[in-house]
Structure 1
Amino acid sequence: MIKLGVKQELTVVKIVDFGVYLGESQQAEDKDTVLLPGKQVPEGIKKGEKLSVFIYRDSSDRLIATVRVPKIALGQIGVLKVAQTSRIGAFLDWGLEKDLFLPYKEQTKKLHEGEEVLVALYIDKSSRLCATMKVYHYLQTDSPYAQGDNVTGVVYEISDNFGVFVAVDYKYSALIPKQEAQGNYKVGDELSCRITAVREDGKLTLSAKQKAYIQLHEDAESVYEIIQEFEGELPFDDKAAPEVIQREFGLSKNAFKRAVGHLLKEKKIELKNGKIYAL
């Protein structure tokens, strides 16, 4: 059976002016063959010889063979560039003549021409090859990492219920739990994280925070820089509402209070009249 979306070895059944027809065997019937266009046919090819080809659909939705190797195959994940966007979806450059369609409903953020996105390749209900940014079920769970390791990954989806989903090394399944996901995250962000747990199913639990003493210094530096951006006078102190702190600093109220306490100890700031002043 000729398989859509994968590379396979097929036999030359018939040679015509515009290419060659390939099948699983030399005795394959016409209905069980696929065309390899003439411009891709190796010189001197003969009936009965085998060729390694990838099967997809042409612009007329017919099965077609190519000797080119696409950037991803069925069920695989890859980073592809957006070639074009439209009301119904986006078209991605995956190394073949016809761009790969990414339906609007399979996008997890608004896309722009020229940007790169992490996608998986699947077959839709109309038997067409399509891309999806919802890659959760395509990610691997056999990473070589252990608790405490530092890793890098890309955000591919954000859930109000669960947290921030990350593809570590662009292929391993990981999550920053909701309670850990302090800050402003966007799909496509590249993160450096620490593994806090390796679950029984192999999926990774991450923290974007460093160990406590390192994180405290980083948070304090970030808070101090933002106070300076307010020209040295922050119009609220550590008693501000959590949502205000989250909006301005991307920190929880407790993390903000710890950072302010550290800055007070270092005599970099002072609190006065409900405001914070840089010294």
Structure 2
Amino acid sequence: MAKIGERVALTVLREAPPGVFLDGGEELGEVLLPRREFPPVWEIGGQVRVFLYTDSEDRPIATCKRPKAMPGDFAYLECVATSGVGAFVNWGLQKDLLVPFREQKERMEVGKSYVVHVYVDPESDRVVASRRLNRYLSQEPPNYAEGEEVDLILFGKTDLGYKAIINAKHSGVLFENEVHRRLRAGEETKGYIVQVRKDGKIDLSLYPPGRARIDDLEAQIEDELIKRGGFWDLCDSSSPEEINKALGVSKKAFKQATGALYRRKRITIGKDGIKLIGSEPEEWRPE
């Protein structure tokens, strides 16, 4: 049964001046696919795959386009208009997506982007969005393993660090003193579970734990050395800021990785930089 907010394959019933009408079943009836939305190939009696939402008069309407976010998704979308009923964000379709006033934590401003949750309002049967994200996070106890890789969407900043949505289900915190690169609101990135506390709160990291994190960094350093012809003027005497700008990690992590590479006889370490063994330039003077 076809429902608002879903992508479904519907049968083309008939053509009319505004477009073609699709069979939406008993609940939706005939659904208009506007002429501007036609797929490259279609025929009466054939099927087209469409996304179902409602027009400005709350009538079911179809599009062959896929919105930037489906119901159930969290997404970072730009506010493009406001009105007496709320704000509207661009989700990639002809009709912008409404964020009702009741679903806003603060009044949204045109030109700014916000993390929202997209859902079908059960009362109006319209696809809408909400800024009250916690309402739409899972209430089930989190069941993540330490070190597990997860998908994150960053949505807030606190005194402790950065708040992130985990796998579109839970929220957690990236502690600021563990973040070694600039983060932006709405950024989607991979992260790792540090721990799930007894109270259900989740600590996160941008880096794989323990040995895995250093292994990744070692590979990154080796790749960069190859690109640079075997020498890089980054070393133990470089400032934490220089190291963070170059690799996005702390100086401690950098020293752990270069120390491991040195012990494996992959690099030599000098006062002026690090050198990939086997491609020593003439001016290099190893310590």
| TM-score under structure 2 length normalisation | 0.56
Q: 1:226 to 1:149 in 2, by over 3 A?
A: closer
Q: Which residue of 1 aligns with 2:236?
A: 238
SS at 1:179 equivalent = helix
Q: Compute the displacement of 1:265 (Å).
A: 0.8
AA at the equivalent of 1:226: E
> Given residue 99 of structure 1, which amino acid in structure 2 is its aligned partner?
D
Look up the equivalent residue of 2:96 and give its one-letter code. Answer: D
Gaps of 5+ in 1: 7-35, 42-53, 59-63, 110-116
Residues 66 and 215 of structure 1: CA distance in aligned 2, closer, same or farther (over 3 Å)? same
Is 2:268–2:276's contact at 8 Å kept on the other side of the alignment?
yes
Q: 1:235 touches 1:276 (CA, 8 Å); kept in 2?
A: yes
Aligned to 1:78: 73
The corresponding residue for 1:256 is 254
Asked if 2 retains the 8 angstrom alpha-carbon contact of 1:107 and 1:134, the reply is no
| Structure 1 position 163 matched with structure 2 position 157 | no
Do the aligned residues in 1 keep the contact of 2:89 with 2:96 (CA within 8 Å)? Answer: no
Q: Shift in Å at residue 245 of structure 1?
A: 0.7
Structure 1 position 195, deviation (Å): 4.2
- CA drift of 1:131 comes to 3.5
The partner residue of 1:217 within 215, 218, 241 is: 215
Unmatched 5+ stretches in structure 2: 6-26, 33-51, 83-87, 100-107, 278-287
Deviations 1:59-101 (A, max 9, x none): xxxxx444579x99xxx7425697x98587742157xx73314
Q: Which residue of 2 aligns with 1:269?
A: 267
Cα deviation code 1:131-163 (max 9, x no counterpart) = 356735542342441452624222232537333
Measure how far apart 1:56 and its partner are: 7.5
Residue 150 of structure 1 aligns with which residue? 148
Report the CA distance shift for 1:198/1:68 in structure 2 as closer, same or farther (over 3 A). farther
Are 1:135 and 2:133 counterparts?
Answer: yes
Q: CA RMSD in A?
A: 4.5
1:56–1:143 Cα change, 3 Å? farther
Q: Which residue is 2:104 aligned to?
A: none
1:255 deviation in Å? 0.5
Identical-residue share of aligned pairs (%): 17
CA contact (8 A) 1:166 1:173 kept: yes
CA distance in structure 2 between the aligned counterparts of 1:146 and 1:81, rounded to whole angstroms: 25
Match of 1:98 in 2: 95
Note if contact 2:54-2:60 (Cα within 8 Å) is conserved in structure 1.
no
CA deviations 1:34-67 (Å, max 9, x no partner) are xx999659xxxxxxxxxxxx99782xxxxx4445
* Alpha-carbon spacing, 1:272–1:87, altered in 2? closer, same or farther (3 Å): farther
Q: CA deviation at 1:247?
A: 0.7
Matched-pair contact (CA < 8 Å) for 1:157–1:166: yes
CA contact (8 A) 2:117 2:136 kept: no
Q: Structure 1 residues 248 and 149 mapped into 2: Cα distance closer, same or farther (>3 Å)?
A: closer
SS in 1 for 2:238: coil
Counterpart-to-counterpart distance in 2, 1:152 and 1:68: 35
Length, aligned pairs only? 211
> What secondary structure does 1:92 align onto?
coil
Query: Deviations for 1:91-112, whole angstroms, at most 9, x for unmatched residues?
Result: 2157xx7331465469557xxx
Given that 1:174 and 1:206 are in contact with CA atoms closer than 8 Å, whether structure 2 keeps it comes out as: yes
User: CA separation in 2, counterparts of 1:241 and 1:134?
Assistant: 41
Q: How many angstroms does 1:262 deviate by?
A: 0.8
2:192 maps to which residue?
193
Q: Are the structure 2 counterparts of residues 251 and 263 from structure 1 closer, same or farther at C-alpha, using a change threshold of 3 Å?
A: same
